[in-house]
């Protein structure tokens, strides 16, 4: 059992609780408390999978595309136009449908996958498939984003962070209800649920989790490539990883199911895109073949990690959605966030105080705490950050 970095008591309590039922476990340096398992937690099981470990945003992850566009070819005014075009062309927010009648979305091959048959009832599969068609290629809100970066050579990158939207959320909720002997769709307590893969419910969940993974990959790649087209650029390289998922892997000769909740796979040479905050650099990294990396189950961070809850950062809200208002100020003011972003030269569209840079750790500190498990290949400086508006609450976020 390996812990990177320092963590608050609640996070450590959750981690030590999952250790009890796991064959191996590790906690990444960006860890913070989550639902039953800490964000940044990695747990390996013998032929079983933790539904709450994977989480409600199944297959949330990061994708980054290096383009042939260069920073020197874009003025500030042109980057501002890029930000506006992204905000107009891509759907951000809760319950939104994709704005484009694009056959690559509505007729994607994943919709003919036999995995849809794993839903307990045909009606569930039909309902979720219809919702998934409409939401494919939408980003949502919360900590989900679309960014444009410049690397150390001046090349522009597009980076995105989001998951399987309502498909993943309703799948996890439904399986948890069945595990607690309730009806599909019934609200149940969010307590740990570890399913043997040899059980009918465990097998169904495994198939549906992987379906949500295909869905998340398709959505992220569509959005990232849409932004590449907005830049008028060509794709040179794609770096893409889930960080809320489970994989069948072999570690030290033992076949295990490795659950990574807010943790990025980082096998030797495997690349990953890791964001900091809306006002900090991101990185492209690669895993190493070291003893420490093996102890980490070849995993690394998925971001910088929160140091404040959303309420602590923005203050207490009254109301919901666009009617929500801050009735008690938090630790971060609009002026504080604006000052940080202005100093960094970041063009922000959307976003709220709960996603301000001050609410997060600094990514270089987090990466340093991971020791020799990874190498940083590229530093990505944020130029454009587009997120949903501050008034949007996202039930599908990780």
The DSSP bridge pattern shows strands 24-32 and 2-3 to be parallel
- Is residue 91 in some structural domain? yes
Residue 95: predicted pLDDT: 66
**What would the pLDDT profile of 282-336 be if each residue is shown by its tens digit?**
999 999 999 999 999 999 999 999 999 989 998 987 766 666 667 788 999 999 9
- Is residue 104 in some structural domain? yes
- Is residue 398 in some structural domain? no
**What would the pLDDT profile of 373-382 be if each residue is shown by its tens digit?**
999 999 999 9
pTM here is: 0.94
- Is residue 321 in some structural domain? yes
**Domain span at 257:** 2-389
**What would the pLDDT profile of 126-145 be if each residue is shown by its tens digit?**
999 999 999 999 998 889 99
At 239, which helix (H) or strand (E)?
strand 235-242
CA distances for 397 relative to 282, 315, 362, angstroms: 20, 19, 21
> CATH number for the domain including 284?
3.90.1860.10
Residue 7: predicted pLDDT: 97
**What would the pLDDT profile of 32-47 be if each residue is shown by its tens digit?**
999 889 999 999 999 9
The DSSP bridge pattern shows strands 61-70 and 263-265 to be unpaired
User: Residues 22-26: what's their mean pLDDT?
Assistant: 97
> CA angle at residue 59 from 398 to 37, to 5 degrees?
50
Residue count of the chain, please give it.
398
> CA angle at residue 387 from 102 to 367, to 5 degrees?
110
- Is residue 16 in some structural domain? yes
- For residue 94, pLDDT over 90 is answered with no
Residue 397: predicted pLDDT: 44
CA distances for 382 relative to 69, 144, 148, 149, 346, angstroms: 15, 15, 6, 4, 6
Domain count of the fold of the chain? 1
- Is residue 68 in some structural domain? yes
- Is residue 94 in some structural domain? yes
Residue 316: predicted pLDDT: 84
- Is residue 36 in some structural domain? yes
User: CA 300, 304, 308, 314: dihedral to nearest 10 degrees?
Assistant: -140
User: Residues 357-379: what's their mean pLDDT?
Assistant: 97
Is residue 222 a contact partner of residue 209, using CB atoms and an 8 Å limit? no
- For residue 390, pLDDT over 90 is answered with no
Q: What is the DSSP letter of 9?
A: H
User: Residues 359-376: what's their mean pLDDT?
Assistant: 97
Q: 92: which residues sit within 8 A by CB, 6+ positions away? A: 138, 139, 140, 141, 144, 350, 386, 387, 388, 389, 392
Q: Which long-range contacts (CB under 8 A, 24 or more apart) does 316-324 make?
A: 320/393, 321/94, 321/391, 321/392, 321/393, 322/391, 323/391, 324/391, 324/393
Lowest mean pLDDT among 24-33, 184-193, 251-260: 184-193
User: Residues 85-95: what's their mean pLDDT?
Assistant: 88
| Torsion angles phi and psi, residue 342, rounded to 5 | -60, -40
- For residue 257, pLDDT over 90 is answered with yes
Distance (Å, rounded) from C-alpha 52 to C-alpha 54?
A: 5
Question: pLDDT > 70: what percent of the chain?
Answer: 96
């Amino acid at each position: 059992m390996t812990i990177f970095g320092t963590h608050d008591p609640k996070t450590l309590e959750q981690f030590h609780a999952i250790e009890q039922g796991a064959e191996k476990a590790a906690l990444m340096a960006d860890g913070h408390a989550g639902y039953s398992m800490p964000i940044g937690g990695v747990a390996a099981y013998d032929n079983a999978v933790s539904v709450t470990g994977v989480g409600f945003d199944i297959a949330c992850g990061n994708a980054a595309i290096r383009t042939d566009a260069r920073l020197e070819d874009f003025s500030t005014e042109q980057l501002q136009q890029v930000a506006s075009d992204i905000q107009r062309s891509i759907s951000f927010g809760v319950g939104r449908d994709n704005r484009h009648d694009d056959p690559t979305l509505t007729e994607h091959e994943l919709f003919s996958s036999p995995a849809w048959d794993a839903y307990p009832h045909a009606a569930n599969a039909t309902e979720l498939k219809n919702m998934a068609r409409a939401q494919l290629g939408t980003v949502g809100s919360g900590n989900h984003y679309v960014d444009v970066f410049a690397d150390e050579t001046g090349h522009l990158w597009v980076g995105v962070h989001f998951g399987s939207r309502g498909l993943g959320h309703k799948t996890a909720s439904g399986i948890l209800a069945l595990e607690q002997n309730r009806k599909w769709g019934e609200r149940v307590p969010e307590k740990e649920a570890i399913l043997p893969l040899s059980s009918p419910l465990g097998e169904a969940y495994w198939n549906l989790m992987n379906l949500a993974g295909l869905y998340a990959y398709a959505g992220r790649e569509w959005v990232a490539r849409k932004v590449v087209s907005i830049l008028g650029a060509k794709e040179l390289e794609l770096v893409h990883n889930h960080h809320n998922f489970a994989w069948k892997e072999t570690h030290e000769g033992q076949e295990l199911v490795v659950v990574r909740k807010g943790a990025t796979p980082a096998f030797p040479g495997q690349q990953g895109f890791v964001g900091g905050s809306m006002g900090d650099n991101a990185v492209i990294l690669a895993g190493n073949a070291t003893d420490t990396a093996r102890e980490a189950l070849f995993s690394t961070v998925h971001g910088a990690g929160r140091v404040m809850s959303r309420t602590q950062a923005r203050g207490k809200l009254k109301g919901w959605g666009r009617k929500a208002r801050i009735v008690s100020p938090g630790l971060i003011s609009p002026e504080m966030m604006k000052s940080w972003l202005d100093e960094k030269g970041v063009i922000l569209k959307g976003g709220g105080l709960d996603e301000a840079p001050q609410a997060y750790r600094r990514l270089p500190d987090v990466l340093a705490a991971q020791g020799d498990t990874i190498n940083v290949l590229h530093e990505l400086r944020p130029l454009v950050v587009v997120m949903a508006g501050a008034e949007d609450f996202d039930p599908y976020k990780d």
